[in-house]
Amino acid sequence: MDFDIHSGELANQKVDAIIILHFQDQPPKEGEEFEKLNAATSGLLREHIREEEFESKLLQTLVLHSPRGLEAKHLVIVGAGQESDYTHSVARQVAAKGAQTAAELGVKTIAIQVYPAPAQETARMLVEGVLLGTYQFNKYKTIDKEKLAKRQLLKITLVSSAPAKIEELRRGAAYGESVATAIMNARDLVNEPPSKIKPSSLAMAAKEVAQLSANISAVVLDKDKLQKEGYRALLAVAAGSSEEPYLIHLCYKPKNARRRVAFVGKGVTFDSGGLGIKPWGAMLSMKADMAGAATVLGIFQALAELEALGQPIDQEVHGVIVASENMISGCAMKPDDIIETKNGKTIEILHTDAEGRLILADALTFTLLQNPQYIIDFATLTGAAIGALGPNYSAYMGNDQPLIKLVGEACQQTGELGWELPLPEIYQKYLKSDVADLQNINKNNFVPGAIYGGLFLQEFVNETPWVHIDIAGPGYENEGDNPVYPKGGTGYGILLGLKLLELL
Ligand code: BES
Ligand code: ZN
Ligand code: ZN
């Protein structure tokens, strides 16, 4: 997709479709651009808004075809809600909805209003919205290929009435394109079928990301090395699979780093449940059990691309991915097994399907050895997180109130939904095993599952400020009703992680 920045008027754009937003406020607060467009069409906009009782609720759309007075074939009006609620993340959603609507009309070129003009951040949001909103994963479709290609935008013009700020807009647009590209790659990784993306594929993807920047390194621990160094929890989970596990360490070290931040990702490329096998319905979508790993890879791709743009992020960032399958064979880990983790603690396996916490235990121990000041892990850890908050919210929890607050702020600012869960000390007793230090689940069904996962991981971070983000819900979208997030892999957490790097 090509981007172009114009100063001037929307009405004069020679494109297939013009996209303009409209606020819900009564009386309507319609800016200069709207007035000009309305005048160019001899009052067509206002006429339709009134006649069709268009309320301009958030993400409502109104399409005018062959609007008189314009060269554009379509005019798309996107409801933007109340102006006082119009944030960066709303701007991204509005752009996504507008671009989606245009793409469905089969148009190739669109012009979109930069509002509020002129801001670098707005340009970034619009580009992200357009790219993320029109993302499709069609690689494996052979029959409808041409029809699907018709729904592909080719060129986007950002139109601003403030000519002096063109350079700023250009920087913002380039930033947005980098971030969106990283997110779309993460989505592709999640959407690929499980026999295509294996633990070794994640290791390869990490090495590819490291190629993008001289400041990024990738070190991969293979099975031999994991055995020598005692990462037995990761090895135990991988034991039933014919695919070997990997621990992957990415490191981004720019010159003037402010802090050392580590992101940890769960990379189970397929979770069958192991011997405690999942029923078929629950096993569906378990190719997405590596969404946390995809998020970490996406953050690193964005770090590399932003650096190449001359807009680098000034933090030292570590990325630790544990990659494995959770499968069944004669070698598979068994219920009743006791495994010894890298940090020496022993775990009684009560359920082979609670595998994420096992591999993350070893990942967190490895991460502590890198001496980070903050740790944030992304993991599709528990169905219970979906039970608690539904499919669109992540559940986050941690051991450090200031860091937890920052995660909440990052959710607010990015529009990636999340909600805090507590890690009550009084529930720590549920972790105790009769025969080992910890048990990987508690059999009592009054014990809250998402919180249990968090309490379990907490045993492996010592005093380091840490937040666990359970993305079982938002990592993989089943409804696909948020215009920024399509069906399938979402890339959830990349915007959040990048925002945290800004806030820390
Ligand atoms: N990968 C799953 C969690 C999951 C469920 C992610 C649904 C996305 C959607 C995890 O490994 C798992 O199986 N968790 C079990 C834990 C249970 C055995 C304590 C679960 O949530 O059922
Ligand atoms: Zn599982
Ligand atoms: Zn899992």
> In this predicted model, what pLDDT tens digit does every residue of 34-73 receive, in sequence order?
889 999 999 999 999 999 999 999 999 999 999 999 999 9
> What integer is the mean pLDDT of 212-238?
98
Asked whether 470 lines ligand 1 (CB < 6 A), one says no
Asked whether 472 lines ligand 1 (CB < 6 A), one says yes
How far is residue 302's CA from residue 182's CA, in Å, rounded to a whole number? 6
Residue 414 half-sphere exposure, CB side, CA atoms within 13 Å?
27
pLDDT above 60: residue 118 = no
Asked whether 271 lines ligand 1 (CB < 6 A), one says yes
Asked whether 382 lines ligand 1 (CB < 6 A), one says yes
pLDDT at 198: 98
**How far away, in angstroms, is 333 Cα from ligand 2 center?**
13
Mean pLDDT across the chain: 95
> What integer is the mean pLDDT of 352-378?
98
**How far away, in angstroms, is 289 Cα from ligand 1 center?**
9
% of the chain exceeding 70 in pLDDT: 99
How far is residue 431's CA from residue 437's CA, in Å, rounded to a whole number? 8
How far is residue 235's CA from residue 219's CA, in Å, rounded to a whole number? 18
Query: What six digits make up the tokens of 500?
Result: 């945290």
Asked whether 356 lines ligand 1 (CB < 6 A), one says yes
Residue nearest to ligand 1 atom 16, measured at CA: 354
> What integer is the mean pLDDT of 4-26?
91
Task: Considering every ligand atom shown, identify the ligand nearest to the alpha carbon of residue 383 and give its number.
Answer: 1
Least confident range of 36-40, 135-139, 163-167, 204-208? 163-167
Which residues have CB under 8 Å from 284's CB, separation 6+?
none
What residue ranges in 336-427 does DSSP mark as E strands? Answer: 338-340, 346-348, 374-379, 394-398, 418-420
Instruction: Identify which of 269, 466, 293, 494 has the alpha carbon closest to the alpha carbon of residue 379.
Output: 293
pLDDT at 350: 98
Residue nearest to ligand 1 atom 14, measured at CA: 382
pLDDT at 117: 60
Please tell me which residue, 147 or 317, carries the higher pLDDT value. 317
At residue 247, φ and ψ (nearest 5 deg) are -110, 125
Residue 478: pLDDT band (50, 70, 90) is confident
Ligand 1 atom nearest to CA at 271: 1
pLDDT above 80: residue 455 = yes
Residue nearest to ligand 1 atom 22, measured at CA: 383
- 171-202: per-residue pLDDT in tens? 999 999 999 999 999 999 999 999 999 999 99
- The pTM score is 0.97
Residue 355: pLDDT band (50, 70, 90) is very high
